[in-house]
């Protein structure tokens, strides 16, 4: 019986160097086999610390018979293409978020994954940190009464990478959108959205979204990379409020603090640190080894892509002069 998933890394992005390669190497369910780059020297640089094979070229990595799955940290615009190529080569895929840029790509990925009976998981690392399970348990136990509103913000100062990227909605906005779906447990209606666009690049650099879920829960979300750092969410119910900071990019050594405010007082609950990247690699490997339930993961990719598209449509709802705020 196979007890480990043999993984190759398709690309040498900074997120792979800093977080995912160490996580894959530390995950007992994963065997890190190879790292591919179009630059052979870069492949060697990334692979050497882990004693795995450097591979010159993405296609050569996909051709290897000793790899069961790939992790894809390539630029966002390349995710769908190489996910589809990996599926055609018979490999399971863990792809950096967003896995796709629009619903058409999502449909193609879902169809290919189903046809090949392979797993595609979108790598929202924060979903695999136990702090959010604790929050969900508190909500389900009625600690907030009835959940009424979700507020979430993810903003980071501009970096060379973010300045070159095509969309802050795709790079940062997808986090609060995914979080709202997590806690509401439903797919929402987009009541309104704004996007601020860089006058030079015509790329969106910030935005805000208002959602309403069938249950009546609303969500107010903000994002962008022309901000000071902010990474927080708040759940507001009929009987209390819960706040969690550093919610999406929680460092491995951080002990999260849940702040619960109720009429009878304020309680701060300190949770143990967790390595959410290692957890993500483990969740992916467990799903591969289980061999069932793959449709749930591609279904989630499809729903997330549909929501992102609805946000874009809402931002274009008015006359051109009112669509965006140029910055």
Active site residues: 97
Residue 80's SS3 state is helix
What are the start-end ranges of the H helices in 141-196?
160-164, 168, 174-184
3-state secondary structure string across 217-228: CEEEEEEECCCC
Which residue is associated with the tokens 């999502």?
106
- Which helix or strand (DSSP H or E) is residue 126 part of? none
Residues 9 and 21 sit within 8 Å (Cβ to Cβ):
yes
Residues 188 and 211 sit within 8 Å (Cβ to Cβ):
yes
Residues 102 and 149 sit within 8 Å (Cβ to Cβ):
no
Taking CA atoms, 143 is separated from 162, 234, 318, in Å, by 38, 14, 40
Radius of gyration of the chain (CA): 20
| Antiparallel, parallel or unpaired: β 69-72 and 5-10 | parallel
Nearest partner of 186 among 223, 148, 213, 146, judged by Cα: 213
Residue 215's SS3 state is coil
- CA–CA separation, 100 and 108 (whole Å): 10
């Amino acid at each position: 019986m196979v007890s480990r998933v043999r993984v190759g890394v398709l690309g040498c992005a900074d997120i792979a160097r800093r977080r995912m390669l160490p996580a894959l190497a530390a995950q007992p369910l994963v065997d890190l086999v190879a790292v591919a780059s179009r630059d052979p020297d870069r492949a060697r640089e990334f692979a050497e610390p882990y004693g795995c094979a450097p591979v010159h070229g993405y296609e050569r990595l996909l051709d290897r018979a000793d790899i069961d799955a790939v992790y894809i940290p390539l630029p966002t615009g390349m995710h769908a293409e190489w996910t589809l190529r990996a599926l055609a080569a018979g490999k399971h895929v863990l792809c950096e978020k967003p896995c796709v840029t629009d619903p058409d790509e999502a449909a193609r990925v879902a169809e290919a994954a189903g046809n090949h009976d392979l797993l595609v998981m979108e790598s929202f690392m924060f979903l695999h940190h136990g702090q959010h399970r604790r929050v969900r348990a508190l909500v389900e136990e009625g600690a907030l009464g009835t959940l009424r509103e979700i507020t979430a913000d993810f903003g980071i100062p501009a970096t060379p990478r973010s300045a070159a990227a095509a969309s802050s909605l795709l790079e940062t906005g997808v986090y609060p959108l995914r979080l709202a779906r997590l806690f509401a447990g439903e797919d929402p209606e987009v009541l309104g959205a704004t996007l601020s666009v860089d006058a030079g690049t015509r790329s969106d650099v910030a935005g805000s979204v208002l959602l309403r879920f069938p249950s009546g829960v609303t969500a107010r979300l903000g994002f962008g990379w022309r901000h000071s750092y902010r990474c927080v969410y708040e759940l507001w119910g009929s009987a209390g409020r819960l706040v969690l900071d550093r919610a999406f990019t929680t460092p491995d050594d951080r002990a999260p603090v849940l702040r619960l405010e109720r009429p009878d007082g304020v309680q701060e609950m300190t949770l143990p640190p967790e390595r959410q990247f290692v957890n993500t690699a483990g969740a992916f490997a467990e799903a591969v080894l289980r061999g069932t339930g793959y449709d749930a993961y591609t279904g989630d990719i499809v729903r997330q892509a549909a929501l992102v598209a609805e946000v874009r449509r809402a931002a274009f709802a008015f006359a051109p002069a009112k669509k965006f705020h140029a910055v």
